[in-house]
Each structure stands twice: as structure tokens, then as C-alpha cells.
Amino acid sequence: MVRGQPLSDDLRKVILNMARHLDVPAIRHYTGCATSSIYMLLANYRRLGSAARARKARERRGRRRVLVSEDIRVSIQ
């Protein structure tokens, strides 16, 4: 895996399926992911029950919008 890149949702699901049968060093060998990433993924899955990434960080990227959806809805009426 490329350093600093988030794991894709598909790879997260693969790691969770592999964790049922393999230990972390074996998963690291087959996927190329960092050991700490695998442990964090497994811990988050146990705690939250989901393997998907949080999407909120993506929504906050870029410049703040001048008009939000509520402003547009008000101006149309």
C-alpha cells in the first residue's frame, strides 16, 4: 500500500474476511498493508460494527461554499 493513502472499502472488507482465518502477520504479507492499519481496522470494526470509512472528512475538503442548499431553496421560492 502507498503510505498515507486510506484503505479502500473493498480492501477493508477483504481484510475483515481474512481476519476470520489468518493472523495479522499473514494478512500483512498478503495485502501489503501496515500492521498498525490492520489492527486499527479490526479495533474499529469491533467497536463500531462497520468497516466503511467515515465520509465526513471528504465533505469538508475544499473551499467553503458561498451558498448552501438552504440558501438556494429559499431563493427559488
Question: For the chain, what are the domain ranges?
Answer: 1-54
For residue range 15-66, what is the model confidence (pLDDT) as tens digits? Answer: 999 999 999 999 999 999 999 999 999 999 999 888 877 666 556 667 776 7
Q: pTM higher than 0.95 for the full model?
A: no
Does the pLDDT value for residue 1 go beyond 70?
no
Question: What Å distances lie between residue 22 and 7, 8, 18, 25, CA to CA?
Answer: 19, 20, 6, 8
C-alpha cell at position 77: 421560492
Do residues 31 and 53 touch, judged by C-beta distance below 8 A?
Answer: no
Do residues 54 and 32 touch, judged by C-beta distance below 8 A?
Answer: no
CATH class for the domain made up of 1-54: mainly alpha
